[in-house]
Amino acid sequence: MLIYILRRVLYSIPLLLIATFGVFLMVSETFDASAYLAQNRSPETRAAFIEKNNLDEPVVNRYGDWLVDAVQGNFGETYRSSEPVMDEVRPAFWNTIQIVGWGILISAFVAVSIGVYSAVRQYSISDYLLTGLAFVGIALPPFWFGLIAYHFATELAGWVNGGEPVLYGLGLHSAGKDGLNLDYARHLVLPVMTLTVQIIASWSRFQRSSMLDVLSSDYIRTARAKGVSRPKVILKHGLRNGLIPLVTIIALDVGALFGGLVVTEVVFSIPGMGRLFVDALNNGEANIVLAWLLIAAFGIILFNLLADIAYSILDPRIRLS
Amino acid sequence: MRSERALYLRLFALICALALVLAACGGDDDDDDTAGGTDDTTADEDVPAGGELVVGAEQEPDCTAWIKSCGGSSWGYWMMGVTTMPRAFDTIPDGDGWAVVANTDLLTGEPEVDDTNPDKPVHTYSINPDAVWSDSTPITCDDFAFTWDAIVNGEDIYDPTGYTEIETVDCPDANTVVVTFARPYSGWKALFGSGFGVHPKHILEGQDIAEAMGNGYDWSGGPWIIESWNKGVEVILVPNDAFWGTKPKLERVIFKVQADTAAEFQAFQNREVSMIYPQPQLDVVDQIEGGLEGAQSSFSDSTGNLEAVWMNNAAPPLDDVDVRKAIAYAIDRDAIVAQLFGALGVDAPMQTLNPPILSEFADTEAWSDYVLDLDMVDELMTGAGWAKNGSDIWEKDGETASFTLKSTAGNARRELTGQILQEQLANAGFELTLDYQEAGALFGEQLPQGDFQLAVYAQVLTAITVGQCNLMCTKNIPTAENEFSGQNWTRTSVAEMDPLLEELETTLDETRQAELGKQIDQMQAEAQVSLPLDPLPNILIWSDDVLGPVSDNPVLGPFHNLNLLGVAS
Amino acid sequence: MSIQPVSETVLELGTEGEHLLVEGAEPRAYTQRQLFRRRFFRHRMAMISLFALAFMAFVCYGANLVAPYGRGEQDLLNATQPPSSEHWMGTDRLGRDYLTEILYAGRLTLTIGFLVALISTTMGALMGAVAGYRGGWIDQVISRITDLFLIVPALLIAATLLSGVRRNGQFLWWDVGDRLVFFTVDIAFAMILVIAFLSWQYIVRLVRAQVLALKEREFVEAARAAGASHTRIIRRHILPNCIGVITVNATLTIAIAIVTEATLTFLGFGLQPPNFSWGYLIYDARGTVGSDNAYLLYFPGLMLFITVLSVNFIGDGLRDAFDPHGKKERW
């Protein structure tokens, strides 16, 4: 198992090199980080900025410098404020993890529940209803849904709470507050909903379909014939096998999560990785974009690995070679 | 605990809100222009003590080391600079315009100007003996000298213009600052003030200012002190106990950082913030027009902003003054301004290339002849050898009068302006293509390198400095020789105007400054170097919970008098 | 053309979903194609969606015939009016009829969706087929490239590439001497290329897997034994059997492409005037949340939603039609 993991990681390294170089090239060539100083009355300011950040050196040199530093764990400094990149990335990452973490947990739980329920009650009215909702959910553009949800939350506040907000759409905590409390929860509802509505919809469809497969298989019938109670059969035997395809899907969908993440953070002003990326791109901060890319790629690789491992645990017939 | 007074305040606020709604429903939105009028520097006894104010912040500075290039952020300065840094001058309303006067917290009065030697004026500042830093060390002349030194000798300074004209800063005693200039500099009142302020020598000496101040600092020379700056999330200010002037009533002010104007407005509607200072985007204008419940708005069109249709005077066919004039006569600026800002009561376009805060030094009617006049367009174009072709577009020597208009991407108001211009110019026989560019590329490369024909963007002045030579003098045209660092992007070159612009840079006599300003404006209008459009009003919106003399200041921002504000409990 | 002897009129569904033989029924023969069509037509939602999508395409591409007003007719005095009998969807900020604008904007949205699906499916299917069939180093190379694109978040690459296009409307690759421009593109075209460029990796994987499975089947061996060339085998035996996977995936790609374009535009990296799409209209209206002008936000979003929903149902119907052994969905 360990060898497998090691092999996968090593194999990803050349890919990462190519990807980072390509992105560095693109960002450096298409964004001028010093442009914001162009309207400054003193042209020396812009020249000094370029000099300080080595922006006039050839791209290949700059990439080389970055690579040498990165391997030692130093991801460089931002151009504008000369802050270590990791100082910018760490808090953003933590904020994003909160949304993503809650998102995946809630999505998985809800999707599995809906999927199992739908499969067990196939062709019932609730099944049709849920499937219909799932189709609707998949078709909803997340950013539009987020805006509409925020709109309704605002209107709701007007009717229900006399103007005081019910759900918040600005950041993760109210002004000056902190910690895991009701205020936090009220801030989380809208962004997490926006992020997960599409995911829950598609995962639940998937889960339903795989549960149906499992429930009609022979060994389930055998178990029932042997007298094992229905709930036990479903939960103990059915679910275990039914989860396998979902696990693979979760891993593959992590990449898709990034898209929804960026939009959610922009709409709800959450200072996370998504917004960091958009701001960095617009300001030409190549170092932040590269750090971002590495983290994203790392996350995807990690999730794929976890999926494979989980797969092998859930299905003892699979052996990782 | 509801006190009686709070109840009355609530009732009062409710009546105001009701009045506002009724007014809005009634038709024209009549918002107060607080540009002139109320003396906003007296404490209001009806403002209760205590409480917390939450303000929406549309932008966040890259750092708070004000003199460094990363600290050149207007929002940053308004939030944390104005509130914590002592400054020598204030900009206050004066009749219809603005005047720059000495800040009476830091100085005891107007500085003395000694121009016995007119080539080397000497200004003497007298520091208020009560002025102290938050650690109770007095603010002295040493701090002025230190600030000047840090700016002219430091690295990576945001804009040392003006400070480099100073020859020496002498300290005959702790409270007297004698500044001798090497050359007369007409913008001397902006020094030791807006944008930079005075820095404490005893705290910063020997340190790397970018490091020591960059991420917020725990000292102050103003009414507030920075308690914390959680990047991307919020800035928290608390009262500075050592402040010798009018102490704040609020317990805390929190600036919540938002993604953009749209998010800001949503947060305000949802009561998550009580005050916002949004860009004059159309959504904002629409919302104000529709009436704000439980909130008030004030806009000011007397700002340091000027949006114009800038023309590249060196790009054919725009190098022909008649073509430039024809374009000016083809555009109905009144309609544009009415469409974009009519709801705020801004109905007249700008008629000078000086922003409103410089109206004393400008001819505010210089462009008033340029109204929609299609006959003039025909006259000018045919006179210049153009004729309309089969598609009704002007053509000469096989080339059609087709222009590209560039502007910043992602700005709904500019996109709308572009579309209106496109239609208006099409009616007059010009073909306009719209090209929206990312701000960095536009300002960083294309405009300096002359890679444009027409462009819509704004000039923003952060202090009342009258000189426009950097923008209009022939010598400042960006070329390959000066590595395109000149700022005269419009490539304006009017020979008679250059000496006047130079003189304006160095005259200290304000009457002469006004004279020169007017002449220059008239010359620019005659040569139609560019077409002024609108003043980009500043809009301030606050909920009725916020009490006190809320007001905006074109140079110091809307938070300049936070120490006088309070919130209803 | 093989004949399947089993038809629907012979069987009916029992109480637990199993098939029961109807007494006295006569079996009738159907061709593959006819069976496919019958299965598709039975999928009610897919049929409805097909009509809806066709209608949508018709009114958008034929907007100059259908739209109540001319394109881009500004009427500054009537700006931002809510829906009324004269303007069914109200007017926008320049007084243009919103319905008209939405119809014209639909052209770009639908075109981007279709073209992206077309390009990425064609490319992906070809690469997947070659990789699966040939194996060896070609397979290795293609698989590694595919992995590269799976590792990197597509949105990041798309945003960066598109920003390069926004600037000067060109792709800037290298500064050689004085700005050697690689090629000049229009931003809508660039979006199509970029999104297609980032969508093909899923199809490659699917087709490759399918081809790998088919390669071992008897009819392929038989064909090879009979002396058929590789090209002929791919063309006549393998690809036709992949059609199912390819088509279903193509329809889903349409939906994803449409939403991706809207998302990129929403973040500011996509289309700008004078190019409108539904995504752009939503982006433009994002500040209307909480105000009376929120209808500017609803309508384009609704159009997007209906289009994507229809495409998804059609994809579902196709999937059912191609795979009779799958579970029966009653829609």
pLDDT in tens, C250-307: 888 898 899 888 888 888 777 766 678 898 898 888 877 777 788 888 899 999 999 9
Give the count of domains, chain C. Answer: 1
Of the pLDDT bands very low, low, confident and very high (cuts 50, 70, 90), residue C325 is low
Q: What is the pLDDT of residue B131?
A: 93
Predicted confidence at residue C25, as pLDDT, reads: 58
What is the rounded CA–CA span in Å between residue B267 and residue B276? 9
Cis status of the peptide bond prior to C274, with omega within 30 of 0: yes
Answer yes or no: do B252 and A176 touch at CB < 8 A. yes
Partners of C163 on chain B (C-beta within 8 Å) are: 438
pLDDT at residue number A252: 67
Q: Which residues of A touch C305 (CB under 8 A)?
A: 139-141, 144
Chains with 3+ CB–CB pairs under 8 A to C are A, B
Structural tokens at position B140: 């002295």
Chain B contact for C74 (CB, 8 A cutoff): yes
Q: What is the pLDDT of residues C127-153, one digit of tens each?
A: 888 888 877 888 888 888 887 777 777
Is the pLDDT at A111 greater than 50? The verdict is yes
Task: Select from A77, A37, A35 the least CA-distant residue to A53.
Answer: A77
- Provide the CATH number for the domain around residue C86: 1.10.3720.10
Name the closest residue on chain B to residue C291, using Cα atoms: B287
A139 and C298: CB-CB below 8 Å? no
ipTM of the complex: 0.79
Whether the per-residue pLDDT at A243 is higher than 90: the answer is no
- The average confidence (pLDDT) of chain C is 76
Range of weakest confidence among A237-246, B57-66, B112-121, C98-107: A237-246
The pLDDT, as a whole number, for residue B430 is: 92
- In a domain, residue C83? The reply is yes
Residue C287 lies in a domain: yes
Cα radius of gyration rounded to whole Å, chain A: 24
Measured in angstroms, the CA of A79 and the nearest CA of chain C are apart by 18
Q: Tell me, what's the pLDDT at B220?
A: 94
Give yes or no for residue B165 having a pLDDT over 60.
yes
Strand, helix or coil at B285? helix
Query: In this complex, do C293 and B286 lie within 8 Å of one another by their Cβ atoms?
Result: yes
Query: Looking at the domain assignment, is residue C16 inside a domain?
Result: no
> Would you state the pLDDT for residue B32?
37
Nearest CA in chain A to C168: A30
Q: Are B8 and B1 in contact (CB under 8 A)?
A: no
Determine if the pTM surpasses 0.90.
Answer: no
DSSP one-letter code for B254: E
The domains of chain A, with CATH numbers, are 86-283 (1.10.3720.10)
Q: Label residue A22 exposed, middle or buried (CB < 10 Å: 0-12, 13-18, 19+).
A: middle
Residue B170 pLDDT > 50: yes
Closest residue of chain A to B458, computed from CA coordinates: A39
Percent of chain B at pLDDT > 70 equals 92
DSSP for A93-156 reads HHHHHHHHHHHHHHHHHHHHHHHHHHHHTTTSHHHHHHHHHHHHHHHS-HHHHHHHHHHHHHHH
Give chain C positions within 8 Å (CB) of A140: 305, 308
Q: What angle do CA B281, B287, B291 make, to 5 degrees?
A: 145
Please state, for a pLDDT cut of 90, what percent of chain B lies above it: 37
Helix (H) or strand (E) holding A71: helix A59-71
Residues of B in contact with A90 (CB under 8 A): none
For B68, counting Cβ atoms within 10 Å of its Cβ (0-12 exposed, 13-18 middle, 19+ buried), the class is: buried
**Residue B335 forms part of a structural domain:** yes
Query: For A308, left (φ over 0), alpha (ψ -120 to 50), or beta?
Result: alpha
Chain B residue numbers with beta carbons less than 8 Å from the beta carbon of A265 are: 259
pLDDT at B254: 93
- Residues of chain A contacting residue B439, judged by C-beta atoms under 8 Å apart: 35-36
Q: Is residue C6 part of a domain?
A: no
Closest CA to C296 of B200, B326, A243, B283: B283
Q: List CB contacts (< 8 A) between B270 and chain C.
A: 290
CA-nearest residue to C163 within chain B is B438
Q: Residue B126 above 60 pLDDT?
A: yes
Test the B interface: residue of C73, C96, C165, C166 with most B CBs within 10 Å: C166
Can you tell me the mean pLDDT for B16-40?
A: 35
What does the mean pLDDT of chain A come to?
81
Alpha-carbon distance of A259 to A150, in angstroms, equals 19
Would you call A81 and B69 a contact, using CB atoms and an 8 Å cutoff? no
A138:C163 CB<8 A: no
Which positions in chain C touch B266 (Cβ < 8 Å)?
Answer: 289-290
Residue C182 neighbours by CB under 8 Å, 6+ apart: C170, C171, C172, C173, C174
Q: Which residue has the higher pLDDT, C228 or B383?
A: B383
For residue C10, tell me if it sits in a domain: no
Please judge whether B423 and C287 are an interchain contact, meaning their C-beta atoms are less than 8 angstroms apart: no
In the three-class reduction of DSSP (H, G, I as helix; E, B as strand; rest coil), residue B226 is classed as strand
Checking if the pLDDT of B27 tops 50, the result is no
Its domain, for residue C109, covers 32-322
Average pLDDT over residues A188-212: 85
Q: Do B286 and C94 touch (CB under 8 A)?
A: no
- Nearest to B462, CA basis, from B284, B102, B195: B195
List the single residue in C163, C301, C330 with the smallest CB-CB distance to A281: C163
Residue of C nearest to A276 (CA): C156
**Higher-scoring residue by pLDDT: C22, A228:** A228
Structural domain span for residue B470: 305-534
The 10s digit of each residue's pLDDT in B289-319 is: 777 778 888 888 888 889 999 999 998 889 8
Give the whole-angstrom CA distance, residue A50 versus residue A52.
6
Query: Is the Cβ pair B339, C272 closer than 8 Å?
Result: no
Tell me the pLDDT band of B275, cut-offs 50, 70 and 90. very high
Span A217-234, average pLDDT: 77
C12 pLDDT band (50/70/90 cuts)? low
What is the CATH number for B488?
3.10.105.10
B215/A31 CB distance under 8 A: no
- Whether the predicted pLDDT of B240 surpasses 90: yes
- Smallest CA–CA distance from B457 into chain A, residue: A39
Which pLDDT score, from 0 to 100, does residue B6 have? Answer: 42
Residue B384 lies in a domain: yes
The reply to whether residue C74 touches residue B423, judged by beta carbons under 8 angstroms, is: yes
Residue C80 forms part of a structural domain: yes
Q: With respect to residue C27, please indicate whether it lies within any of the assigned structural domains.
A: no
What does the block give as tokens for C222? 């038989």
Q: Residue B95: left (phi > 0), alpha (psi -120 to 50), or beta?
A: left
The verdict on residue B526 lying in a domain is yes
Distance from CA of B168 to the nearest CA of C (A): 46
pLDDT band at B146 (very low <50, low <70, confident <90, very high): very high
C284 min Cα distance to partner chain B (Å):
7
- Is residue B439 over pLDDT 70? yes
Average pLDDT over residues B442-449: 84
| B509 token code pair | 């006599």
Residue A319 tokens read as 């052996």
pLDDT of residue B250: 92
Range B409-425 average pLDDT: 86
Please check whether residue C77 touches B, CB under 8 A. no
CA distance B185 to C320: 81
Q: What is the pLDDT of residue C83?
A: 85
Examine residue C164 and state whether it is found in any structural domain, yes or no.
Answer: yes
Answer with the residue of higher pLDDT: C34 or B124: B124
B32-90 pLDDT per residue, tens: 333 333 334 445 567 888 889 999 998 888 889 888 888 888 888 999 999 999 999 98
Domain count for chain B: 1
Subunits with at least 3 CB pairs below 8 A relative to chain B?
A: A, C
pLDDT for A250: 73
User: Which subunits count as partners of chain A given 3+ CB pairs below 8 Å?
Assistant: B, C
User: Using 50, 70 and 90 to split pLDDT, how confident is the model at B13?
Assistant: very low
Residue of A nearest to C255 (CA): A139
Average pLDDT for chain B: 84
pLDDT of residue C124 exceeding 70, the answer is yes
Indicate whether C6 pLDDT > 50. Answer: no
**Nearest residue of A to residue B63 by CA position?**
A81
Q: What is the pLDDT of residues A253-302, one digit of tens each?
A: 776 677 778 888 888 888 888 888 888 887 778 888 888 888 888 877 77
Q: At C205, list the tokens.
A: 């994987």
Long-range contacts of A295-302 (CB under 8 A, 24+ apart): A295/A89, A295/A93, A296/A258, A296/C152, A296/C153, A296/C156, A297/A12, A297/A16, A297/A19, A297/C151, A297/C152, A297/C153, A299/A254, A300/A254, A300/A255, A300/C150, A300/C151, A300/C153, A301/A8, A301/A9, A301/A12, A301/C151
Structure confidence at residue C30 as a pLDDT band (50, 70, 90): low
Query: Are the Cβ atoms of A169 and B438 closer than 8 angstroms?
Result: no
Q: Flag whether residue B282 sits within 8 Å of chain A, measured between CB atoms.
A: no
